[in-house]
Amino acid sequence: MYRKIIKPLLFSLSIERAHRAVILLLRIIGLIPGGRWLLHKCYAVEHPALEREVFGIRFANPVGVAAGFDRNGEAFRELAAMGFGFVEIGTITPQPQSGNPRPRVFRLPRDRAIIHRIGLANRGLETSIRHLRKPHDGVIVGCNIGKNAATPAENAPADYLKLFRNLYQYADYFTVNISCDNACRDGSTHTREQILRILEPLFDFRRGQNQYRPVMLKVSPDMPDEVVDRVADILLETPLDGIVATNGTYCREGLQTSREALEEIGNGRLGGAPLTRRAVEIVRRIHTRSGGTFPIIGVGGLMTPDDVRAMLDAGADLVQLYTGYIYEGPGLVGEICRALIADEERRRAEAAKAEAEAKAAAAAAPAEASDTAPSKTADAAPGTPLPSPEAAAGSGTNAGNGTAEGAGNAKSADGVSGCGDIPAGHSEKSPETASGTSGEPAIPAGNAPEHPGKQA
């Protein structure tokens, strides 16, 4: 239905118009009683094998909506009803901004890709808060935050802090977007000093809260490997919780689209199939360099269940879709979920078979046979069949809005040796003193541990 009817219809419109129409349609469906229930019935796949616990939050499945799709948080509940395990809204900037002149988003059907130079167009903090005041109903919401284009680089930390403070009570986690700035193509804003200037005030503010909100950093795929390593080291040495890798690329190598067409389109970040390899590579590098214990959200060119498998195998804990969703349609999330369930069932069947073979071998060994009592642990064996999706339905719902108190990432005590570098006493900072910016104070101050997971 999507490929035969809806996609040709949407692809006959400009991509921004089509996108606007989809968001509007979702909002209308959300207003109809039972609308979200129907979306859920049609698209969502629930199963215990899909559930993940990442940075202390329980996800019903690991497939999320990438930033840029619901920039203002207008349709996060409807997108979750369409089967996504979480929704990252934004990038939100403090003030509304119109972004770059249109046209600024382009389809490359021959490459199954999209180029965009939206320039973080969004309706600003206040509008996003208005949308986020709606009940979350267990939907896990990430807030992707960025600075206004008009804000000079030296004032960028104040923009990020204002967003963090004011969105703190509405977000389950944050993504700090430093890779979307027009000025940053190759990770040149990814220096330790620049990143820490933005992150430190957020960590200071978080120390004064009684609820923990994980902070992720979104990075560019165009970083040279040594910059990727530097970013991974920041994970090891600071209270940063994880990485979202990656944003779109400026690279145009190996595309099927003609050079003339590309020149006509001009500048912009490219997402979709040509990005898969580099995004997976970056995730693998960060995962390896950081010892494999930090949450990574893998995004970039995930067009099929196999792409998602590759991303998870590279070390991602969660994944996000954007361009793949545009090209493959709303069925893609269910397709990925069913593939992940099948993988898990296969793994369990193989483990059960291996265990049965080991038992048979042990029983056949005459000397041991007389000594060894039959195992009583068969029921608890890894081969225990998974409940069917039908039986699991209803039990696989989100576990709530991630209060995450006592949660945090999976860092071991060894993995956060740099935490001591953070000046002592920051945890006493109150929301009022944490920022010079105006806006409603976030939830009451407490003593949120910097790395709750670390204290376990």
Ligand X SMILES: Cc1cc2nc3c(=O)[nH]c(=O)nc-3n(C[C@H](O)[C@H](O)[C@H](O)COP(=O)(O)O)c2cc1C
| H helix or E strand, kind and range, residue 326 | helix 323-328
Q: Output the residue with the shortest Cβ distance to ligand X.
A: 68
Subset of residues 120 to 159 that bind ligand X, contact rule: CB under 6 A: 120, 144
Q: Does 187 bind ligand X (CB under 6 A)?
A: no
> Could you say which of 22, 62, 86, 91 contacts ligand X (CB under 6 A)?
91
Using the contact rule CB under 6 A, the part of the chain among 56-64, 112-120, 332-340, 360-368 near ligand X is: 112-120
For ligand X, the binding residue among 228, 275, 282, 311 (CB under 6 A) is 275
Residue type, 289: R
Of 47, 116, 165, 206, which lies in the binding site for ligand X, with binding defined by CB under 6 A?
Answer: 116
Rounded to whole angstroms, the Cα distance separating 142 from 440 reads 20
Q: What is the DSSP letter of 150?
A: T
Helices 192-207, 225-237: crossing angle, 10 deg rounding: 20
For residue 146, count CB atoms less than 10 angstroms from its CB and return exposed for 0-12, middle for 13-18, buried for 19 or more.
buried
Size of the site for ligand X (CB under 6 A): 28
Stretch that binds ligand X, among 74-82, 116-124, 345-353, 441-449 (CB under 6 A): 116-124
CA 449 to CA 456: how far, in whole Å?
Answer: 11
Q: Exactly one of 30, 56, 62, 68 binds ligand X (CB under 6 A); which one? A: 68
Span of 26-34, 270-278, 395-403, 417-425 interacting with ligand X by CB under 6 A? 270-278
Closest CA to 372 of 384, 382, 364: 364
Q: Decide: is 118 part of the binding site for ligand X (CB under 6 A).
A: yes
| Residue 272 contacts ligand X per CB under 6 A | yes
E strands present in 210-295 = 215-219, 242-245, 269-272
Ranges assigned E (strand) in 201-299: 215-219, 242-245, 269-272, 296-299
Q: Kindly list the distances between the CA atom of residue 170 and the CA atoms of 141, 373, 400, 403, in Å, as whole numbers in the listed order.
A: 8, 56, 13, 11
Site string for ligand X, 292-331 (x = CB under 6 A): -------xxxx------------------xxxx-------
Q: How far is the CB of 199 from ligand X (least distance, A)?
A: 16
**114 touching ligand X, by CB under 6 A:** yes
- Give the shortest CB-365-to-ligand X separation in angstroms: 53
Residue closer to ligand X, measured from CB, 216 or 422:
216
Main-chain phi, psi angles of 110, to 5 degrees: -65, -25
Distance of CA 241 to the CA centre of its chain: 12
Site string for ligand X, 200-219 (x = CB under 6 A): ------------------x-
Task: Give the number of C-alpha atoms closer than 13 A to the C-alpha of residue 221, restricted to the C-beta side.
Answer: 26
Interface with ligand X includes 105 (CB under 6 A)? yes
Told to check if 431 binds ligand X by CB under 6 A, we report no
- For ligand X, give the closer residue by CB, 304 or 375: 304
Q: Considering the rule CB under 6 A, would residue 64 count as an interface residue with ligand X? A: no
Determine the Cα–Cα distance for residues 220 and 250; give it in Å rounded to an integer.
9
Instruction: Name which of 97 and 188 has its Cβ closer to ligand X.
Output: 97
Angle at 20 between CA 255 and CA 139, to 5 degrees: 95
Q: Which of 61, 93, 177, 435 binds ligand X (CB under 6 A)?
A: 177
Residues that bind ligand X (CB under 6 A): 66-68, 71, 90-91, 105, 114, 116, 118, 120, 144, 177, 180, 218, 247-248, 271-272, 275, 299-302, 321-324
